[in-house]
């Protein structure tokens, strides 16, 4: 993954599409599950397909929607639903009961919730500066939680896989910091939204990798 990639490629399906299908499931379970399975398979075969689909609809309707800002907000709302088994974001939640795994769940969700506040707070310099401090603290706490979990992961290859995800997370955390400095010079809010979404993405990748190696 590089900064030239679009974080929306990996986030549109879980954050926008699947919650809609969960609502549809209340009316027609078969139709919802059929659509979900079809879209999931299509996305696996052609990563970013659902983003292209949504982008095409927005363009066709000539809608003025900032996708980066909208998805950043939406993923925050989704975090509030993670305590419910109906939330599709359980794919990013660890089921192991040990304290280390539950702590990683909490720190992952906390970071993403704080990031989701950026669109509302970025125009208030004083508030935003406080939020940046919260983000820095949340990043450190997440890294500490990952370090605690590594000792539970069996096998060298499993540990290496998680360590690689951690390196990616650190890389994009640094890029986020650089983007913030550029924002205060140039005022490009979209660049901050994109960088924040990359942090959401790499956080999700940590959770998926830990889950695959331990459950």
Sequence-separated contacts (24+) of 136-140 with Cβ below 8 Å: 138/107, 138/110, 138/111, 138/114, 139/111, 139/173, 139/199
Task: Give the ranges where 7-116 is alpha helix by DSSP (H).
Answer: 8-12, 18-25, 29-45, 49-60, 67-79, 99-116
Q: Is the dihedral of CA 16, 166, 119, 57 positive or negative?
A: negative
- Dihedral angle of Cα 127, 131, 133, 136, to the nearest 10 degrees: -160
Q: How many C-beta neighbours within 10 Å does residue 56 have?
A: 10
What is the rounded average pLDDT of the residues 15-40? Answer: 89
Q: Considering the chain, what is the average pLDDT of its residues?
A: 90
Exposure string of 64-87, with b = 16+ CB inside 10 Å and e = fewer, is eeebbbbbbbbbbebbeebeeeeb
Give me the pLDDT at residue 80, please: 59
> Does the pLDDT at position 105 exceed 80?
yes
Q: What is the b/e burial string over 5-14, where b = at least 16 CB atoms within 10 angstroms of the residue's CB?
A: ebbbbbbbbb
- Mean pLDDT confidence for 147-160: 93
Query: What's residue 21's pLDDT?
Result: 87
The rounded distance, in Å, linking the Cα atoms of 187 and 144 is 32
Structure tokens at 191: 């660049």
Give tens-digit pLDDT for 39-98.
Answer: 999 998 998 999 999 999 999 888 889 999 999 999 887 665 555 444 445 678 899 999
Closest CA to 50 of 63, 59, 60, 41: 41
Spell out the CATH class of 8-214: mainly alpha
Share of the chain above pLDDT 90, in %: 73
- What SS3 class is residue 32? helix
**Sequence-ordered list of residues with C-beta below 8 angstroms from that of 65, at least 6 positions apart, any chain:** 58
Global pTM reads: 0.89
Q: Report which of 11, 4, 5 is spatially closest to residue 116, judged by C-alpha positions.
A: 11
Q: What is the mean pLDDT of residues 142-158?
A: 94
- 84: its two tokens: 């419910």
| CA torsion, ordered 183, 121, 192, 67, to nearest 10 deg | -140
């Amino acid at each position: 993954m590089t900064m030239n990639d679009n974080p929306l490629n990996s986030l549109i399906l879980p954050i926008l599409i699947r919650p809609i299908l969960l609502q549809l499931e209340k009316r027609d379970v078969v139709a919802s599950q059929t659509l979900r399975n079809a879209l999931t398979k299509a996305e696996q075969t052609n990563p970013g397909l659902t983003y292209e689909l949504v982008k095409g609809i927005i363009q066709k309707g000539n809608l003025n929607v900032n996708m980066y800002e909208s998805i950043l907000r939406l993923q925050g709302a989704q975090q509030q639903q993670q305590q419910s088994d109906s939330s599709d974001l359980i794919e990013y939640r660890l089921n192991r009961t040990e304290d280390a795994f539950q702590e990683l769940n909490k720190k992952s969700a906390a970071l993403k919730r704080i990031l989701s506040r950026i669109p509302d707070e970025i125009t208030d310099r004083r508030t935003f500066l406080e939020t940046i401090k919260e983000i820095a603290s949340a990043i450190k706490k997440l890294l500490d939680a990952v370090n605690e979990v590594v000792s539970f992961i069996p096998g060298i290859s499993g540990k290496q896989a998680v360590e690689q995800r951690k390196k990616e997370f650190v890389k994009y955390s640094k890029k986020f910091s650089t983007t913030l400095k550029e924002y205060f010079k140039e005022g490009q809010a979209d660049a901050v939204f994109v960088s924040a979404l990359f942090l959401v993405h790499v956080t999700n990748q940590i959770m998926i990798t830990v889950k695959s190696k331990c459950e």
